[in-house]
Amino acid sequence: MQSDAYQSMTYEDVEDNDLLKNDLLKSFRLRQGGYRKRFKLSKIQLVETPEQFTYRLRRYLQKWCQTTAIQQTYEGLYGLKLKDQFLILVEKLPTLTYPTRI
């Protein structure tokens, strides 16, 4: 079964592998948040070996990095993880409300 993204593309666009891949990823909504979530929530399956699980995690991390357009370096990954951890901690902070003037 072909996706709607594939069917709506021109023949020339389908021949462009990068464009095709990006359109398919958009249609399946596996963007930054989707790969981040899969990377963080993945658990080893009963039928997976540790090597297979590690490979799957590595693919999710690679895709997460690609969708954020960070530099494919240690510094880029470091920055991504630091930003991610910061956002996690900020989300847990109580919301500040200020009294309104009457």
77-97: pLDDT as tens digits: 999 889 888 888 877 777 666
Q: In whole angstroms, what is the distance from residue 32 CA to residue 11 CA? A: 28
2-35: pLDDT as tens digits: 445 555 556 676 567 676 666 666 655 566 778 8
pTM of the predicted protein model: 0.58
SS (H, E, C) the chain: CCCHHHHCCCHHHHHCHHHHHHHHHHHHCCCHHHHHHHHHHCCCCCCCCHHHHHHHHHHHHHHHHHHHCCCCCHHHHHHHHHHHHHHHHHHHCCCCCCCCCC
